[in-house]
Amino acid sequence: MKTIYGNDHRRHGKHHEMSGGRMVPAVECPERAERVLSQVEEAGLGEVLPPQDHGLEPLRAVHSSAYVEFLASAHERWLAEKGHAEAFPLSWPVAATAGLRASPPPIETIQAELAIYAFANDTAITAGSWAAAKQGSDVALSALDQIRAGEAGVFALCRPPGHHAGRETYGGYCYFNNAAIAAQRHLDLGGSRVAILDVDFHHGNGTQEIFYGRGEVLTVSIHGDTRQCFPFYCGHADEPGRGDGQGANLNLPLPLGSRWSEYEPSLRRAIDRLVDFAPELLILSLGVDTFAEDPITDFGLRGEDYPRLAAMLPPGMPTLFVLEGGYDLQHIGSNVVSLLSAWEAESISAGDPRA
Amino acid sequence: MKTIYGNDHRRHGKHHEMSGGRMVPAVECPERAERVLSQVEEAGLGEVLPPQDHGLEPLRAVHSSAYVEFLASAHERWLAEKGHAEAFPLSWPVAATAGLRASPPPIETIQAELAIYAFANDTAITAGSWAAAKQGSDVALSALDQIRAGEAGVFALCRPPGHHAGRETYGGYCYFNNAAIAAQRHLDLGGSRVAILDVDFHHGNGTQEIFYGRGEVLTVSIHGDTRQCFPFYCGHADEPGRGDGQGANLNLPLPLGSRWSEYEPSLRRAIDRLVDFAPELLILSLGVDTFAEDPITDFGLRGEDYPRLAAMLPPGMPTLFVLEGGYDLQHIGSNVVSLLSAWEAESISAGDPRA
């Protein structure tokens, strides 16, 4: 299986996040991607290719132009205004104050503009966030190119992750929604049906939001119950989609502590749903923070469960693997690569001529 | 002039705020109130009386019961969940995700519940926040009792401040809106017209919100333009009130760097407006962070401007002075007390028999 990887993610380097009321070193760090890359190479998964620049148009097909412009210039403007390396919001608009005005408020500082787009305190905008996030989207788009050129499965080794990023919101370590950008690109190039299966521990709120009113993209997320888990506020079972997207969103929240025995039935439901949907392309939002030893989550999957997950994916369906979360540096590489290797072995044994 | 003061504010002691993307020691600290108290005593302003407990009913007349219950238990629940002394939100609901659900989302953790009510990262919930905020409201209510018993002017030495707190939002160092609680109490005890003049550097967004649809409370705020200044998102000149409150809100934003020469015309407009309104009671939300040397703001008032401000207030109007912001520890006491002393001297010279 080919892997797409670029080094620009390193420019979004060591920084901080708010966690439990304190600023702590961010768990979303360059080593995550480097560990995965090392394991890709060590396991001989396949060729590692650099991403191609796809410009801004594919970003603007998912995110608003105002949001893309904001991210492109936010850090420079923040430095000019605040002089400190990491941008975080100070206050944010709430419904009660929004109701005091007949029109949107004028915004003239980056400090105020940040919170028009931010939804969380865990996501700094650093000097390299733009470069990293932009290349992250190119990694996903370049992987899509490979799939469209005939590859059965391709691994987009994206960093930062993307599934929490909405049309014009960032948070949960995510700036651009790499999986959604690839899905939309496929449609814009003539595709008609895409499914996104999100197996990250956290609900893919951004992906859900982007396609919530759209019937041509099925979004399915298996995740820690958002009554207890980030990102809170959505991700529940009673969110089926709306309008043309009615029935095209499926949330499968699971209790804290869930192991494979609890996980497998939800995964079975998810896969049944996506087989029914019959997409031309499956995008797997691949987080391995479901791992029992992940430092920030509460599921109980073990290393041997990732090949099991791969083996359950529908054979013969072109699959784009997009890296999302996973914060246990010791195991992130082996968990990701054992899943990808198992998927490829299944595809070959199923006789897919492209695998 | 009598001052109402209680020690419970000290329980909301040294803590942190997010400022410029970093956690720093909070400028809203116990020394603020202690410096003002010292100056009250040193200048011989008058008797210092403890607050009386007014229970929760006056709080619930302004804030929602759910919000009052939240603040009462938030820190205990936070400690049980997170184990760290200061509670800050992690993520918050935004319009895009709120639109994914037909009903409000279930919330089962204090981490998620915090952001239902918080609108800023500058306001920790500490072990003593509830006790301090509750007594702060009692200070304002006890001062109101004195006014209603015939005093011409009384000083509510409140800490924490209140004017940013909305019906069910906290932020800007504020938890309960002391001025609004006193205004509402006056109405609930049979009063019919109250004016709140907010001269804090920051827009009194909470006060505006609470009374925005109400005609019996005039709210006027002179403040640093919220295009550049916290709390952003409202506080502009085009917010006149709505419904029954149409015409009963007046925002007078001023540019950064404004000195007395710029300030005085806006103060004149504010006072003309409140004289026209002819309230039975004036509540002055008294922040002295308009001072040139204040560490977090950008106006240019000098010490001699505070007696000038007092001299412009309408003579003969019962006036409740409620302490809001002011973060220059060296001058907060003298600026507050020189204003109060000047007001009392004016009242006496104007022949108010109660002064």
Express each pLDDT in A299-329 by its tens digit: 999 999 999 999 999 989 999 999 999 999 9
Q: What's the CA gap between B202 and B224, in Å, rounded?
A: 6
- Asked if A168's CB is within 8 angstroms of B122's CB, the reply is no
Report strand pairing: A217-224 vs B2-4.
Answer: unpaired
- Return phi, psi of residue A113, to 5°: -70, -35
Residues A98 and A12: their CA atoms lie apart, in Å, by 33
| B120 contacts chain A (CB < 8 A) | yes
Residues from chain A that touch B23, judged by Cβ atoms under 8 A, are 22-23
* B70/B77 Cα distance (integer angstroms): 10
In chain A, what residues touch B100 (CB-CB under 8 Å)? 205, 208-209, 212, 234, 239
Q: Which residues of B form the catalytic set? A: 164
Is the pLDDT at B355 greater than 60? The verdict is no
Residue B353's pLDDT is 63
DSSP string, B274-335: HHHH--SEEEEEE--TTBTT-TT----B-TTHHHHHHHHSPTT--EEEEE-----TTTHHHH
- Does residue A284 carry a pLDDT above 90? yes
Q: Tell me the two tokens of residue A345.
A: 């072995």
Cβ contact B92–A227 (<8 Å): no
The question of whether A164 is a catalytic residue gets the answer yes
Mean residue pLDDT across chain A: 96
- Closest chain A C-alpha to B230 CA, distance in angstroms: 8
Contact B232 A109 (CB under 8 A): yes
> Would you mind telling me the total number of residues written for chain B in this entry?
355
What pLDDT score does A355 carry? 54
Q: How far is CA B262 from CA A102, A111, A170, B185, B265, in A?
A: 28, 26, 40, 34, 6
Mutate to test the interface with A, among B16, B81, B92 (most CBs of A within 10 A): B92
Considering only residues 52 to 71 of chain A, which have any Cβ-Cβ distance to chain B shorter than 8 Å? Answer: none
pLDDT on residue A98? 84
- In this predicted model, what pLDDT tens digit does every residue of A169-204 receive, in sequence order? 999 999 999 999 999 999 999 999 999 999 999 999
Using a cut of 0.90, tell me whether the model's pTM lies above it.
yes
Q: From the candidates A163, A164, A186, A202, which is the catalytic residue?
A: A164
Q: Average pLDDT of chain B?
A: 96
User: Is some CB atom of chain A closer than 8 A to the CB atom of B108?
Assistant: yes
Chains A–B, number of C-beta pairs less than 8 Å apart: 184
Q: What is the pLDDT of residues A34-52, one digit of tens each?
A: 999 999 999 999 999 999 9
pLDDT in tens, B154-167: 999 999 999 999 99
Q: What is the pLDDT of residues B41-67, one digit of tens each?
A: 999 999 999 999 999 999 999 999 999
Residue A282 backbone phi and psi in degrees, to 5: -105, 130
Looking at residue A192, its pLDDT comes to 96
E-state strands within chain B: 2-4, 16-19, 22-25, 48-49, 153-156, 194-198, 217-224, 249-254, 281-286, 319-323
Predicted local confidence at residue A97, as pLDDT: 86
HSE-up of residue B96 (Cα within 13 Å, Cβ side): 22
pLDDT at A54: 98
The alpha-carbon gap from B214 to the nearest alpha carbon of chain A, in Å, equals 13
Whole-number pLDDT of residue A352: 66
CA distance B255 to chain A (A): 13
CB A144 within 8 A of CB A155: no
Label residue B283 by pLDDT band (50, 70, 90). Answer: very high
Q: Give dist(CA A140, CA A159) in Å, integer.
A: 10
- The region, left, alpha or beta by phi > 0 then psi within -120 to 50, assigned to residue A351 is left
A63-90 pLDDT per residue, tens: 999 999 999 999 999 999 988 899 999 9
**Band of pLDDT at residue A126, cut at 50, 70 and 90:** very high
Cβ distance of A101 and B19 shorter than 8 Å: no
Hey, which residues 252-271 in chain B have their CB within 8 Å of chain A? none
Q: What percent of chain B has pLDDT over 70?
A: 99
| Chain B from 179 to 218: CB within 8 A of any A CB | 205, 208-209, 212
| pLDDT, position A84 | 86
Are A141 and B277 in contact by the 8 Å Cβ rule? The answer is: no
Specify the higher pLDDT residue, B351 or B185.
B185
A42: closest CA of chain B, how far (Å): 37
pLDDT of the residue at B349: 84
Provide the pLDDT confidence category of residue B88 given band limits of 50, 70 and 90.
very high
**Cβ-based neighbours of B152, under 8 Å, separated by 6 or more:** B318, B319, B347, B352, B354, B355
Residues of A in contact with B227 (CB under 8 A): 106-109
Q: What are phi and psi for residue B248, nearest 5 degrees?
A: -105, 15
Instruction: Report the pLDDT value the prediction gives residue B348, as an integer from 0 to 100.
Output: 83
A325 at B interface, C-beta within 8 A: no
User: What fold is seen in the domain A2-70+128-349?
Assistant: Arginase; Chain A (3.40.800)
Check residue A354 and give its pLDDT. 61
The complex's ipTM works out to 0.94
- Alpha-carbon distance of B277 to B282, in angstroms, equals 11
